[in-house]
Structure 1
């Protein structure tokens, strides 16, 4: 039977900027900052007492399948979960070693069943599925919980909704918020800015000068949206934060920074789960053209 752990105070909620597999081997100064920021979060989670009975994750790479329609959530039930080498780029020639990466961890199907039942009781249609762990989870977790100090808390994976309805993602977070008092630490993994088309537009510029100009324009867009997100998550009233999150969609930078929404929606889930908790950025600011590695803690 699942543990009946009940906490006096709700466990915190985290949103992390998960980066790609290059996080594990790139030696760039920016990459080292992203790693250090994530290690701070890993150390915070290790210090939580009593220990969470599970980390409930939402990843930008685990969106419910289109086959279920727009109103269904998936909960992973698989035990002995394999990690997925689900990279955007083909590394077979440039960095073939990335396909050898592994991430030892603990699954908890019985706790996943508890979450599945909770979602259905909350009025959210939830299906049980079996899948691996995508790089939106295992890549940052390898940094947060290295082999010499591995994660000793099981992981339960839940999808976001399929589709572009942002309000539904906040509602999903609100539905799981009460699990924070039952031993579940909620961690959503995405990116505050995530735009491969913007990066492609820089590479496609016809000259060094135009590339530099395009890079500065994309960086300005990315910083503007990142700044707007930081202002929204710092709001302390759930109703105000919800309204402001949905209004981000109206900003001129929004579609450029999120041509698809799957990396943005985990932030909405985290904010919904946080309720009136205070949101604050964790670590050193890292914004690049087309990418933001913002981490947020709600507590």
Structure 2
């Protein structure tokens, strides 16, 4: 049973680039770097003492449902959550084994309810829901906390907001910030760049030459936005960091890098949860056309 001793100082907050399910079986050099980066973060989290009470996750694949409206957060209180094979691509022909993947873990409906109560007391409209664990959590966690070194604390899943108000995502982080003093570790799981439309643009180019030109264009955009994001998120002080993160939306690369914002918002929540904490990118940089796998620790 994990320790529930409250820490002497606020627990760190992480943002991880979660990737897709191919993260678990792709043997390319790039993918191995992404895997090693996440394994190192998992080892770092396992070394935290006393152990966290729970890990609160904000995933790019768990936006609040449209049914509750744009200003409502959802908190998963289901007992015995299943993992969701919620992949964008259809792997039934190319890699059918991914639908057999499991990830043993511990739920904590009681703690989830406590988090829900905390949000409502903080002025956040919140609903309790019952759902599974999306691949934005279990895929990276399966690497970070493998069977030989399993995660020994429960997971509490909290949604991001369902809307394009980026500042609201930072306010959500601010609302959960004090939970770091109560033994909760916060992880935002998204991607610094996530653009399937850019990948489609490369694939649909009419010739090899055109595809290479498109690839170089998208890669330059992805690297540019990744660089701007790194500069913004590592600003000293909460006020300057918040301002810099929100100004990223004005960049022409923003919509190209995030045609939809669900993979961007977890880093806003993470940044909102840490105040003036210091920020450090973790691991080896991996940026490719339409995708970036930035990992960050806030301490």
Given the two structures, how large is their TM-score scaled by the length of structure 1? Answer: 0.98
- Does the CA-based 8 Å contact 1:233-1:280 persist in structure 2? no
2:11 — aligned with what?
11
1:235-250 aligned at under 5 Å gives the runs 235-250=235-250
User: Can you list the C-alpha shifts for 1:215-261, whole angstroms capped at 9, x where unaligned?
Assistant: 00000000000001110111120000001110000011000000000
- Does the CA-based 8 Å contact 2:63-2:262 persist in structure 1? yes
- Does the CA-based 8 Å contact 1:73-1:159 persist in structure 2? yes
Compare 183-192 and 228-237 and name the one that shifted more. Answer: 228-237
CA distance in 2, matches of 1:27, 1:46: 25
CA distance in 2, matches of 1:14, 1:196: 24
CA distance in 2, matches of 1:169, 1:258: 16
CA distance in 2, matches of 1:121, 1:112: 14
CA distance in 2, matches of 1:242, 1:192: 16
- Does the CA-based 8 Å contact 1:82-1:132 persist in structure 2? yes
- Does the CA-based 8 Å contact 2:11-2:184 persist in structure 1? yes
1:185 — aligned with what?
185
Matched, 1:123 2:123: yes
1:165-204 aligned at under 5 Å gives the runs 165-204=165-204
CA distance in 1, matches of 2:221, 2:274: 27
- Residue 168 (structure 1) shift: 0.2
Given the two structures, how large is their TM-score scaled by the length of structure 2? Answer: 0.98
CA distance in 1, matches of 2:214, 2:182: 48
- Does the CA-based 8 Å contact 1:56-1:155 persist in structure 2? yes
- Residue 3 (structure 1) shift: 8.2
CA distance in 1, matches of 2:79, 2:30: 36
Q: Unaligned regions of 5+ residues in structure 1, if any?
A: none
How many residue pairs align between the two structures? 298
CA distance in 1, matches of 2:4, 2:153: 15
2:110 — aligned with what?
110
1:253 — aligned with what?
253
Matched, 1:222 2:238: no
User: Can you list the C-alpha shifts for 1:151-183, whole angstroms capped at 9, x where unaligned?
Assistant: 101000000000100000000000000000000
CA distance in 2, matches of 1:164, 1:5: 38
- Residue 108 (structure 1) shift: 0.3
Give the secondary structure class of the aligned counterpart of 1:178. helix
- Residue 4 (structure 1) shift: 6.4
Matched, 1:35 2:32: no
Give the secondary structure class of the aligned counterpart of 1:188. strand
- Residue 6 (structure 1) shift: 2.5
Matched, 1:20 2:20: yes
- Does the CA-based 8 Å contact 1:107-1:156 persist in structure 2? yes
Matched, 1:297 2:292: no
Cα RMSD, aligned residues only: 1.0
CA distance in 2, matches of 1:147, 1:6: 27
